[in-house]
Structure 1
Amino acid sequence: MARSRLVGLAVLGTVGAVTATLALSTSSFAVAPATATATYDCGTWGSGLGTLTATDTGGVKKIKLTSTAITMPVGSSANPNSITTTLKVNKTAGGVTSEVQFSAKLNPAMSGGNPITLGPLSLSSGTIATGNTTNSLVLTGTPSATNWSLKIVTSSPTVATVYCTATTTQSSAFTW
């Protein structure tokens, strides 16, 4: 009788420890590679190489974009979290390609001539499952309201919309 109680307490203790560990852990999924580069044409904001950093934490997929080649125009500035950024990418799943979007209003304070930091941008349109890949949505022609891969909308202290086209695919597609 004492032995069965002891075994029962040991099992309960193990179950409790496992439950506590699971409750405290965050579900983080690897994205490979974690970073990639692509080239963007953003008109007056410049053109050149941007670094994309992808994360998947708890099923929340995000991409952050930074670039020293793309900068805010001289004489302009942006307050923290005053830029709404939308990034379109191609998703490939089972040989079928479609478009998904990442969007957010997250940025540090930036001033004219400074490199951009946008996001991290959360998946906002479409779905991405484990094993799907995403890559830059490459477009030709002048960036415009109907031809863009990246849209940057500033709201404070000034209002402006900047359209950008990806001119190259990523150095490596992201596999989620």
Structure 2
Amino acid sequence: MRRIKLGIGTALGAAALATGALTLAPTATAVTPTTATLTADCGTFGSGRATLVATQDGTSATITLSSSAIKAPIDIPAGSVNSTLTLSKNGSDTTTFTGSSNPAIPSGSDVSTGPLTGTVAAGDVLEATSLKLVVFGLITVDCTATSAQSPGPFTF
């Protein structure tokens, strides 16, 4: 009888610990939408459509951007583009996502950059407004959004 009570007590204790651990575990966060498109003007470098893909892990977020607005004039090695994506934040402020982890981009191909990293808070609503690319530390490309994000801003 004593072993039965001990077994039941141990099982109940384990269940209580598991329930407590689930209660204290951080809640999963998600950004919606995860993919958005817009059009951008990059001056003499071109204009066109850009696709942004966002992910979130707690207060950290990443955005990867690819665009037909800019074509690589030469082969661009991985990690040689410093990017700053500026986004409107909650309609009254701005925030930036930065990075230099572009993939290798062959000459004539669409430019892609990211993941660009930034910090977000629950409820932040972000919409891309501009992008600055610095290639090889020498060539600066400034792009400005000419349309709103579709299907809408990122909500974290």
Contact 2:125–2:153 at 8 Å: present in 1 too? yes
Partner residue, 1:159: 138
Partner of 1:88: 86
Unmatched 5+ stretches in structure 1: 138-148
Distance 2:9 2:111 in 1: 59
1:141 matched to which residue of 2? none
Q: Is 1:105 aligned with 2:100? A: yes
Counterpart amino acid of residue 14 in structure 1: A
Give identity over the alignment, percent: 38
* Partner-residue secondary structure (3-state), 2:92: strand
Distance in 1 between the 2:3 and 2:84 partners?
64
Does the 8 Å CA contact 2:75/2:105 hold for their aligned counterparts? yes
Name the TM-score, length of structure 2 as normaliser.
Answer: 0.84
List, as ranges, runs of 4+ consecutive aligned residues in structure 1 with deviation greater than 6 Å.
18-22
- Cα deviation 1:27-71 (Å, max 9, x = unaligned): 642111111111111123311110011110243111111113321
TM-score by length of 1: 0.75
Report what 2:117 is aligned to.
122
Question: Any idea what SS the aligned residue of 1:78 has?
Answer: coil
**Secondary structure of 2:142's partner?**
strand
Superposition deviation, residue 111 in structure 1: 2.5
1:11 Cα deviation (Å)?
Answer: 3.2
Superposition pairs of residues 22-41 of structure 1, within 5 angstroms = 28-41=28-41
Aligned match of 1:170 in 142, 145, 149?
Answer: 149
Task: Call closer, same or farther: CA 1:21–1:71 in 2, change over 3 Å.
Answer: farther
In structure 2, do the counterparts of structure 1 residues 57 and 5 end up closer, same or farther at CA, with 3 Å as the change threshold? Answer: same
Return the letter of the residue paired with 2:153. A
The amino acid of 2:45's aligned partner reads: W
